[in-house]
């Protein structure tokens, strides 16, 4: 779940109606032994397979079953398969 303006910038500024999404990333928090700590990393979503829904009047959007690119630069206890 995210804000609709992340998918549709014209919600924030009507002059941006011709803009398109170039990249979407999800910020994930590292989990150690079931406890989420302050270490975070971004994971990019494959836009070719992007499915989602936006609410017509509210600033709400849902990304459905996103497919993530493997982020080989991320270090730590991030579980890619859990994304």
- Of the pLDDT bands very low, low, confident and very high (cuts 50, 70, 90), residue 6 is confident
Average pLDDT, the chain: 78
Exposed (0-12), middle (13-18) or buried (19+): which is 32, by Cβ within 10 Å?
Answer: exposed
Residue 9 has pLDDT above 60, yes or no: yes
Alpha carbons within 13 angstroms on the beta-carbon side of residue 3 total: 6
pLDDT digits (tens, 9 = 90+) for 22-60: 888 888 888 888 888 888 888 888 888 778 888 888 888
pLDDT digits (tens, 9 = 90+) for 52-81: 888 888 888 888 888 887 765 566 666 655
Instruction: Say how far apart CA 72 and CA 83 lie, in whole Å.
Output: 14
Exposed (0-12), middle (13-18) or buried (19+): which is 39, by Cβ within 10 Å?
Answer: middle
């Amino acid at each position: 779940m995210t804000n609709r303006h992340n998918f549709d910038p014209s919600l924030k500024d009507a002059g941006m109606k011709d803009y398109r999404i170039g990249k979407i990333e999800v910020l994930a928090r590292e989990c150690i032994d079931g406890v989420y700590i302050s270490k975070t990393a971004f994971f990019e979503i494959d836009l070719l397979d992007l499915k989602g829904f936006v609410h017509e009047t509210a600033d709400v959007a849902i990304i459905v079953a996103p497919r993530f690119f493997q982020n080989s630069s991320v270090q730590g206890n991030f579980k890619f398969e859990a994304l």
